[in-house]
Copies of this chain bind each other. A is one copy, B any other.
Amino acid sequence: MTRLTMVTVVLLMVTAGMAQQVPRGGQTVFSPEIHDDNTVTFRIRAPKAIKVEVTGDFLAPVRVEMAQGEYWVPGRGEMKENKEGVWEFTTPEPLASELYSYSFIVDRMQVNDPSNVMMIRDVGSVKSVFIIPGDPGDLYSVNDVPHGTVARRWYDSPTLKEQRRITVYTPPGYENSKQIYPVFYLLHGSGGDEEAWISLGRTAQIMDNLIAQGKAKPMIVVMPNGHTQNQAAPGESSRHYLPAMGGGQRQAVASMEDSFGDIIAFVESNYRVKKNQANRAIAGLSMGGMHSSAISAQYTKTFDYVGIFSAPPISIWGAGSKEEADKRIEEFVNKLKAQQANGFKLYWIACGNTDFLYQGVIESMKKMDEIGFKYTYRESGEGHIWKNWRIYLSEFVPMLFQ
């Protein structure tokens, strides 16, 4: 090879050839820029656009009226165009520490930030995200602490008659010790899958940091796919993927509750775990909260710790009529009586006071009070959002296995 050709190759590679691998929109636009005072500037190049806005959960939500009622939606910030065709918006106030997600609206078309590679999938959409450092942002970040391992594994479910994907967090040191660990089963919501808690939920970061701070016991966290009509997250499934809320891939052979024994059996025969009630916890958000109350009642003497995030513990989701709902409430109250008699250490219910399920949670607790069922209630601000679920996780985990 001649010297000239090789130098040409190098130059070509650097200047042009790799262009297909350069982030769309180029490198010259820096966005989001987190300033020292925690104000943030967003930028997008769109020289032909007429109107560009930024929207995201860092902006105060606004209440809009719709046919079904009034709803909170993320606010919008109007962006201003400079001479180079780059639109810019800077938050008027510093942002509180948090993980935020956002997107741009360019002439009514919603797009992610082409300059920000940190994008996390939430159900069917991929969102640009950023973290403002501090408390709790640091808890959601990778810090210089020992890191656990996150494995995407497949287990066999005899009940569902198929292999299913599962995400398993093992704590730092798991691979190099003979230690036996407690297990925490952590369930996603209706719009999620086995990747939800590990991505927007920041479970690996929260566990690593809480364990390093001595606030949480080292434990294994098991995150299954709660949609028995789906086999796995998109891209990892053998079937054309539809989010379960859009109907899912096919009819479910059995429910999450009825097939949950397969997950416990898999974990307890494949990991070094403590196999008793005192060393098992289960929690979930929204649909996963309903799964957690149902599973902890159905599998007697199995879980000492139960967490219900943003969901009514007494659920009649899917009930076709008032009669059916009534019957299911009565049946479930009887199960709760048995669960109370069998004993457990913690039944933790958390909900935001603007959550659309708030009233259901309050009324569930009234039913539980009537039978003297012992739970702990944690009420936060805001609603059915990941910000709350990360906070609930961070508060729930330190109470486990103590």
Contacts and interface: CB of A to CB of B under 8 A. Distances in A.
Given A10-B318, A163-B147, A243-B117, A22 B107 contact: no
The interface centre, meaning the residue of A126, A192, A314, A385 with most chain B CB atoms within 10 A of its CB, is A126
B12 A120 contact: no
A235 B124 contact: no
A360 to B, nearest CB: 4
B21 A319 contact: no
A1 B153 contact: no
B1 A235 contact: no
Nearest to A316: B6
Contact of A13 (B16, B317, B366): B317
A363 B6 contact: yes
A9 B154 CA distance: 34
Interface in A243-265: 243, 245-246
Interface residues of A, number: 105
Given A3-B322, A111-B111, A329-B3, A238 B144 contact: yes
Contacts of A141: 238
A300 interface: no
B109 A9 contact: no
A69 interface: yes
Interface in A164-180: 165, 175-176
B234 A110 contact: no
B7 A325 contact: yes
Given A22-B124, A190-B18, A356 B7 contact: no
B1 A123 contact: no
A23 interface: yes
Contacts of A232: 142
Contacts of A151: 149-152
A2 interface: yes
A364 interface: yes
A7 B319 contact: yes
Contacts of A284: none
A363 B163 CA distance: 48
B357 A13 contact: yes
A66 B149 CA distance: 46
Nearest to A358: B9
A108 interface: yes
B126 A112 contact: yes
Contacts of A144: 162-163, 238
A359 interface: yes
B190 A4 contact: no
A129 B34 CA distance: 32
Contacts of A318: 10
B107 A107 contact: yes
A97 to B, nearest CB: 15
A93 to B, nearest CB: 21
A210 interface: no
B360 A1 contact: yes
Nearest to A166: B149
B149 A153 contact: yes
B149 A152 contact: yes
A154 B147 contact: yes
B107 A48 contact: yes
B15 A234 contact: no
B126 A119 contact: yes
B234 A117 contact: yes
Contacts of A34: 240
8 contacts: A5-B360, A13-B317, A15-B68, A16-B66, A22-B124, A27-B245, A141-B238, A151-B152
Given A13-B356, A118-B235, A147-B154, 5 more contacts: A12-B356, A21-B189, A27-B245, A107-B109, A114-B125
